[in-house]
Structure 1
Amino acid sequence: MLLRSVTADPADLDRAVAYPADAPVSPVPALTAERVREELAENRCRPEWTWIAEDEDGRILARALWWGRADSERPVALDCLQVHEDVPDPAAVAAALLEAGRTAFGAHPGYNLSLPRDWRADPALAAAVAWRREAARRAGLTSEIERLRYEWTLPQLPPGVPPAAVIAEPTGRLVFREGTDEEFLDVFGRLSRGSLDVNTRQELAGMTEEEFAREDFAFYSDCPGERSWWRLAHLPDGTLAGMAIPSATPYHRNVGYLGVVPEQRGRGLIDEILAEITRFHAAAGAERITATTDTVNVPMAAAFDRAGYEVTEIRLVLEAPSR
């Protein structure tokens, strides 16, 4: 079996792109050949990030597609992992492909599986997830986080009605303002205390609060959303309550980060902060806003539910353990 990345040669690339993505586990929206070509054109997928396993006759047995932002030096995540249905041990072939990619990239991007909420009740889908999890485990992606992916969509509006009109007006419980980098770094650290976010808890096991804050600040600064969108949230008397970070992906607006500082939790202020982010995006003309939260973060999930966000999928995230 030959494991390799595809080349920029049109025939080689077209062959890999045309490999059918008809497995039960597939990214959403569907990973059609047309969509892969669009991602290649935008430099979010690249020939050197597209890996295949071939038998001695040159038949493709498996395909792995890694994804990154247009300016990424290395892939950010594994977007798709497929093995031909007649391969007797798909986990072994897939694990070898993941290991070859990791060696080539000098990094270990996580694997995001997009699944329906009831995926465990579908035997074929559960089996397809099982061998992928096993392949990821063999390749070192042993940390698992299950997340809810939410989506807010703009309802149909009468002519002349602005999008912001469908969002509740501010209640006055919080005042939002811009802040300095130093202020946001401080709030990132404070929000990490007692966080229910699985990744946050894992990261804090191996780094200081200040180090974690700087990594989070750098991550959100690097997202397609603008730094000027960020807001600190205060009570009317000036007491810090939390922060709101409207952000974006290469495809749409999203809820980047939001939170309430520990001493103000339990007062329903998260609803006010989420509403501010939704208002911000709607006022800018966004017709769809996405968000994610861990399934174990029940309070955050409840806030999305109250705000009219709907669960569109389960995202199973397989990653290397944090240091």
Structure 2
Amino acid sequence: MSVRRATTDDVPALIAFPDTPGVQNLPRDQVRDDFATGRMRPEWSWLAENDGRLVGRALWWGLGGSRPESLDTLDVLPEQPDPRSVAAQLLQGGRADLGQLPTYRLRIPVGERHGHPVRWRCEAAQDAGLTETLERLQYQWSPPAGVPQASTRLTFREGSDEEFVSLFGQAARGSLDVETRRALEETDEISQARDDLAFYLSCPGERDWWRVAFDHEHQPAGFIVPSATPYHRNVGYLGVLPDHRGQGLVHDLLGEITRIHAAAGAQRITATTDLVNLPMAAAFDRAGYQITEIRLVLQQPRVGS
């Protein structure tokens, strides 16, 4: 078996690679579109061959920079006797090109979390140094779920970038979001808030969707950042300010995001939350969002962790 970086001539075979059981395979049309738009690239892709036959692929993904942002696909044909070894070699090839490996986002169908296809991928990722794991739930809303009623407790208006920096910072205090808590171990609140602002400004969603939420006393209670991916509308970010927690306002904020997207004709709204963030999961359930998959986020340990 041999492992090498892909070339432009390899792209059709990488797109046509068979679906593999036990994981959530990317739709072939999406992979084709990602290569066409540069979100996936031959120079970011590695393949494994056995006697000239394609038996494995590793496809990294990005939004247009010089480096990919994540590993989106790691597949080995099921008949390979040691898929972990093949996958580890693909990741080693990627690391030789990229240096520090980007995050691996492993999508898993509900009920398949502990299956063999998940286990060997996680073991190969750990072999490559991606030893820090975060488990998340992926949700989806569609029109049959219904559109939530407008909040009777909050009003919404636009806000400036500086207002949102302040709001991101306040919402980070005591947050249940694992990535936010990890980030605050390395940086200060305002720096992290500015990073959050920059990230959501870089997403495909529109800036004029963002809203600050006010209570009946005209005090800021939270905020929403409806967003989008290259493929569909997305919940993005919502935050309840510390002094207003414990009142169930997360339902009002999520409802407003859903209303904004639904009013624009969205047929699909996706969202993700950490497995440990029970209030957010409850809000998704109440708003008619359905769990579509589990996501394992595997990455190299942060410096000092």
Within a 5 Å distance, the mapping from 1:48-67 to structure 2 comes to 48-55=43-50, 57-67=51-61
- 1:101 counterpart residue number: 94
Query: Secondary structure at the residue paired with 1:19?
Result: coil
- 2:227 counterpart residue number: 247
Structure 2 counterpart of 1:58, which letter? G
- 1:39 counterpart residue number: 34
Deviates more, 1:291-300 or 1:57-66: 57-66
Q: Aligned Cα RMSD in Å? A: 1.9
Shift of 1:185: 0.8
- 1:168 counterpart residue number: 149
CA contact (8 A) 1:26 1:114 kept: yes
Structure 1: where are the runs of 5+ without partners? 157-164
CA contact (8 A) 1:136 1:142 kept: yes
Count, aligned residues: 303
- State the percentage of identical aligned residues: 55
2: CA distance between counterparts of 1:102 and 1:237? 54
Deviates more, 1:111-120 or 1:14-23: 14-23
**Distance verdict in 2 for CA 1:306–1:7, change over 3 Å:** same
Query: Secondary structure at the residue paired with 1:155?
Result: helix
**Distance verdict in 2 for CA 1:86–1:309, change over 3 Å:** closer
Q: Cα deviation per residue 1:132-158 (whole Å; 9 max; x = unaligned)?
A: 0011111111111111111111129xx
Shift of 1:167: 3.2
Structure 2 counterpart of 1:5, which letter? R
2: CA distance between counterparts of 1:262 and 1:166? 27
1:76 aligns with 2:65: no
Structure 2: where are the runs of 5+ without partners? none
Deviates more, 1:43-52 or 1:85-94: 85-94
CA contact (8 A) 2:22 2:115 kept: no
2: CA distance between counterparts of 1:313 and 1:230? 27
- 1:212 counterpart residue number: 192
- 1:159 counterpart residue number: none
CA contact (8 A) 1:224 1:250 kept: yes
Provide TM-score, normalisation by structure 1: 0.87
**Distance verdict in 2 for CA 1:63–1:72, change over 3 Å:** same
CA contact (8 A) 2:23 2:112 kept: no
Within a 5 Å distance, the mapping from 1:8-19 to structure 2 comes to 8-9=8-9, 12-19=10-17
- 1:126 counterpart residue number: 115
Query: Secondary structure at the residue paired with 1:117?
Result: coil
1: CA distance between counterparts of 2:293 and 2:272? 10
Provide TM-score, normalisation by structure 2: 0.92
CA contact (8 A) 1:244 1:273 kept: yes
Which one of the candidate residues 128, 144, 148 is aligned to 1:139? Answer: 128
Q: Cα deviation per residue 1:49-108 (whole Å; 9 max; x = unaligned)?
A: 2211234x3333421111222x23222221111123344332222122113213313442
- 1:22 counterpart residue number: 20
Which one of the candidate residues 201, 207, 215 is aligned to 1:227? Answer: 207
Query: Secondary structure at the residue paired with 1:228?
Result: helix
Shift of 1:48: 1.2
